[in-house]
Amino acid sequence: MLRGLSIKNFALIEQLQVSFDAGLVTITGETGAGKSLLLGALGLLLGKRADLSSVKDNSQKCIIEGVFRIDKYNLISFFEEEELDYEDETIIRREILPSGKSRAFINDTPVTLQSLASLGVKLIDIHSQHQTLEVTTNDFQFEVLDALAGADREIKSYKRGLQLLKEKEKEVNLLIVNQETFTKEYEYNSFLFNELEEAKLKPGELEEIEERYERLNNIEEIQERLSSSISIVSSEEVGISDQLNTIKGNLSKIASYSGGLKEISDRIQSLYIELDDIQLSLVNELEKLEADPQQLEETGQRLQLLHHLQVKHNVSGIEELMVLKEELQEKVSKTESLSEDIEKLQNEITTIKVQLDELASTIHEKRNKALPILVEELESILKGLGMPNATFKASLELQESYFSNGKEVLEFLFSANKGGSFGLLKKVASGGELSRIMLAIKTILSRYANLPTIIFDEIDTGVSGEIAHKMADLMFSMSENLQVFSITHLPQIAAKGQSHYKVYKEDLNNTTITQLKLLNKEERIKEIAEMIGGKDISDSALTHAKALIQ
């Protein structure tokens, strides 16, 4: 329950701090006094987005803080999941900075708006005037029915399963589209892959093949020039080898005469050894050469193939062709395995649907049991609210389709008069009737849902007299199980509150501000008398006000 509310620098509220008790709390005030500001401030505490325009003084920080007693509402698991410190008396704070940025805190720990909103829905249900129309929507009707049906566990499991089903269906549809695309390209990709596979590509092969081809293609010239070179080196008397040998002999005889000659002699010796080695190498190279027209042809064909593949695939090397081959192999393999993947996913989808069908059947059974109870309780409460002939006709029908909360269509029809025709709420119920139906629903929900606080913002619109008394009695009855706030213009409801607050405006230092005050008994009598007869309070209005309070 909401134990305290502190508001600073918000709209027309300069500074406000107020405490609340359990039971029925009524709030009154003239139109425009600022009752909506309280709801706006609470909305920020419950996770609504902040707006700098709602800050009174843009140079100062706006702070809204609520103190909630939560020890009876099984919220420890929420705090554990959100990694927050749990306190029986939890403090929620919202700040709007002059920059326009906002911050949120739960027990002094910074949190996201999503976390704040997740906790907020577990703490307060704010029913504003425009939300009365929610009662006409199918989603809201299911929400009420499910509160009575007690199928929370099954519905949560169903929703998780439905989400998984949608993901799997999206996945299989994407595979089917890909399969159609890949199948069209499959034969071409297979041909390209096989062509590269048959080429038996090796890294660095192109340079090796080009070298071999050049050698085989020019073998006669190579043989001729090698033979000529060997002849120059080894020819008797005029060959380089013989001449170098003569020089070597000459220098060896005079090397002992000086260090310089000795050095030159050694160098000549080294040249002679190196030349001898070169001669052997030339001979070896010549002996290895052998004309081989067949190998030349094969090498030429291989070189032509490699060049052709490079041009065909617009690449500059064997390595790029090998990368392309791997990519093509992956495409071909993927296409070949798509059918198996699709079949596997379709089997998974079938299994999920079986599980969803079982859950939907259980949910349907529980809802079917709860539906007549809901109708009976609604009609009973509405009789006490001046609608003795209000009748509902409700039915649930299982469908083949999977909806967000089950496989059923709920038909919820209403007739306000005896013998009247049934129709959809939004078409046949008046504004005053919708207000009473909503109050009746909230009354039923209060018995089944473990909600700490509910706030009614002028739910009494369109009613008066004895009906107002009945609505007040209902709210009072609800307040035995939870904290109930009622923002009202009806004296009958205001008088029923166990605590009564007044919202009003006053001018201070040439500034209009909104205040909230807890009324004592005398102030309550005067406030209710004004609600009955206006500013000029008559004795009869005072008497009536006292009677209402008593």
Which of these three, 334, 362, 386, is where a domain ends?
334
Cα separation, 526 vs 383, whole angstroms: 32
In a shared domain, residues 320 and 190: yes
Q: Quote the tokens at residue 272.
A: 């002679």
Give residue 487's domain range. 1-127+450-519
Mean pLDDT, residues 48-75 = 86
- Position 246 scores a pLDDT of 81
Mean pLDDT, residues 141-154 = 89
- Position 230 scores a pLDDT of 80
Minimal CA–CA distance to 119: which of 145, 93, 156? 93
- Position 495 scores a pLDDT of 92
In a shared domain, residues 15 and 92: yes
Cα separation, 523 vs 451, whole angstroms: 31
In a shared domain, residues 197 and 282: yes
Q: Is residue 535 part of a domain?
A: no
- Position 384 scores a pLDDT of 86
In a shared domain, residues 200 and 283: yes
Q: What DSSP letter does each residue of 146-205 carry, written as one string?
A: HHHHT-HHHHHHHHHHHHHHHHHHHHHHHHHHHHHHHHHHHHHHHHHHHHHHHTT--TTH
Q: Is residue 304 part of a domain?
A: yes
User: CATH number of the domain that 83 lies in?
Assistant: 3.40.50.300
- Which are the contacts of 167, defined by CB distance < 8 A and separation ≥ 6? none
Mean pLDDT, residues 191-205 = 81
Average pLDDT over all residues of the chain: 86
In a shared domain, residues 192 and 261: yes
C-alpha dihedral (214, 219, 222, 223), degrees to nearest 10: 160
319 pLDDT band (50/70/90 cuts)? confident
In a shared domain, residues 188 and 112: no
Summarised one tens digit per residue, pLDDT across range 372-388 is 999 999 999 999 888 88
In a shared domain, residues 187 and 318: yes
In a shared domain, residues 197 and 330: yes
Please check the confidence at residue 224 and state whether its pLDDT lies above 90: no
Cα separation, 64 vs 120, whole angstroms: 14
Mean pLDDT, residues 217-231 = 80
Which of these three, 270, 300, 334, is where a domain ends?
334
In a shared domain, residues 327 and 198: yes
130 pLDDT band (50/70/90 cuts)? low
- Position 229 scores a pLDDT of 82
Summarised one tens digit per residue, pLDDT across range 482-525 is 899 999 989 999 999 999 999 988 887 778 888 899 999 999 99
Sign of the dihedral through C-alpha 307, 310, 316, 321 = negative
Please check the confidence at residue 332 and state whether its pLDDT lies above 80: no
Q: Which has more pLDDT, 419 or 10?
A: 10
Q: Is residue 187 part of a domain?
A: yes
Q: Is residue 147 part of a domain?
A: no
Summarised one tens digit per residue, pLDDT across range 340-362 is 888 899 999 999 999 999 999 99
In a shared domain, residues 185 and 326: yes
- Position 292 scores a pLDDT of 67
Q: Is residue 436 part of a domain?
A: no
The answer for 211, left when phi > 0, alpha when psi is -120 to 50, beta otherwise, is alpha
Which of these three, 281, 306, 334, is where a domain ends?
334
Burial string for 188-212 (b: 16+ CB within 10 Å, else e) reads ebbebbebbeebebeeeebeebeeb
- Which are the contacts of 89, defined by CB distance < 8 A and separation ≥ 6? 3, 67, 68, 69, 70
Summarised one tens digit per residue, pLDDT across range 262-307 is 888 888 888 888 888 888 888 887 777 776 677 677 777 877 878 8
Mean pLDDT, residues 152-177 = 92
Structurally, the chain folds into a number of domains equal to 2
Helix count (H) and strand count (E) of the chain?
17, 15
Summarised one tens digit per residue, pLDDT across range 442-459 is 888 888 877 789 999 888
On whether the pTM is more than 0.85, the answer is: no
Q: Is residue 159 part of a domain?
A: no
Q: Is residue 31 part of a domain?
A: yes
SS (H, E, C) 196-259: HHHCCCCCCHHHHHHHHHHHHHCHHHHHHHHHHHHHHHHCCCCCHHHHHHHHHHHHHHHHHHCH
Block residue for tokens 């249900």: 125
Please check the confidence at residue 124 and state whether its pLDDT lies above 80: yes
Q: Quote the tokens at residue 50.
A: 């902040």
Q: Quote the tokens at residue 457.
A: 């913002």
Mean pLDDT, residues 150-169 = 93
In a shared domain, residues 116 and 210: no
In a shared domain, residues 74 and 192: no
Cα separation, 451 vs 124, whole angstroms: 7
CB 526 within 8 A of CB 539: no
- Give how far Cα 43 sits from Cα of 116, 123, 529, Å: 11, 12, 31
- Position 129 scores a pLDDT of 64
Summarised one tens digit per residue, pLDDT across range 73-122 is 888 999 999 999 999 999 999 998 888 888 999 999 999 999 999 999 88
Q: Which residues pair with 111 in a beta bridge?
A: 104
Name the amino acid, one letter, at 216. L
Q: Is residue 420 part of a domain?
A: no
